[in-house]
């Protein structure tokens, strides 16, 4: 006997609405891997010291602008030994377009001196020592450990903090909590590449103004029934 089955396509279509956090995370990983199979480091650098300086300069500044300024700075000094001998005023003059130049120029000069005096001109390969350096916070240290040394880390910038909330991966209490939540839901082996993939996606598709949690492919797939703008915490 032929039995006709009436399928509720609305229920089928909205399956993703009922995905738990683990299922959403798995979808996100696969989607981003297809979209961004290669993840070049956004900040241009030739060595780990240059990466450290570039990340420091990127605070409240775009990577695009940093990449325009660092070649001018590194023309004078591309290592700590040379950098510590450049007057702070000169560093300030060069990096001024990056913003927060008074604080950043002093930090660059002082940390360069510390690297020479305490670490023989090398950038320390540990979170503890990096975060002791002037102008270096946890996010900066995470980028250096991840992109410079290849250690598993999950640096959380404004893009990642915003997207993690929109995708229901964190409550968005603060960036510290967001980092903890993302480390729990994503495999450690994926952290270094995935955090860059999320940044790329946040800049290109799930932007601060271009997507309100209801527009981009990932937001619509994970929350198809979301019909109001999703407000994220800063």
- Catalytic residues, which ones? 139, 157
The H or E element containing residue 212 is none
Question: Per-residue DSSP letters for 158-178?
Answer: HHHHHHHHHTTS---S-HHHH
DSSP character for 21?
H
Name which of 153, 109, 105, 101 is nearest 127 in CA terms.
153
What SS3 class is residue 65?
helix
d(CA 217, CA 229): 15
Question: Per-residue DSSP letters for 106-146?
Answer: HHHHHHHHHHHHHHTTPPPSSHHHHTTSTT--HHHHHHIII
Residue 117 makes CB contacts below 8 A (sequence gap 6+) with none
In Å, the largest CA–CA distance within the chain is 89
d(CA 227, CA 220): 10
d(CA 225, CA 44): 41
The H or E element containing residue 48 is helix 48-57
């Amino acid at each position: 006997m032929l039995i006709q089955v009436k399928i509720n396509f609305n229920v089928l279509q909205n399956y993703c609405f009922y995905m738990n956090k683990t299922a959403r995370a798995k979808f996100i990983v696969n989607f981003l891997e297809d979209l961004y199979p290669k993840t070049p480091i956004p900040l241009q650098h030739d060595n780990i010291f240059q990466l450290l300086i570039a990340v420091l300069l990127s605070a409240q500044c775009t990577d695009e602008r940093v990449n325009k300024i660092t070649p001018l700075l590194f023309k004078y000094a591309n290592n700590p030994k040379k950098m510590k001998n450049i007057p702070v005023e000169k560093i300030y003059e060069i990096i001024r377009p990056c913003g927060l130049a008074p604080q950043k120029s002093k930090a660059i000069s002082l940390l360069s001196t510390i690297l020479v005096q305490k670490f023989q001109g090398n950038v320390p390969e540990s979170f503890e020592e990096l975060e002791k350096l002037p102008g270096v916070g946890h996010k900066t240290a995470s980028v250096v450990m991840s992109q410079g040394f290849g250690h598993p880390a999950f640096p959380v910038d404004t893009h990642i903090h915003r997207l993690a909330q929109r995708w229901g991966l964190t409550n968005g209490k603060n960036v510290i909590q967001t980092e903890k939540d993302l480390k729990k839901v994503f495999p450690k082996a994926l952290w270094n590449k995935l955090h860059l993939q999320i940044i790329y996606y946040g800049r290109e598709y799930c932007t601060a103004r271009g997507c309100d949690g209801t527009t981009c492919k990932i937001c619509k797939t994970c929350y198809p029934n979301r019909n109001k703008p999703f407000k994220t915490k800063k």
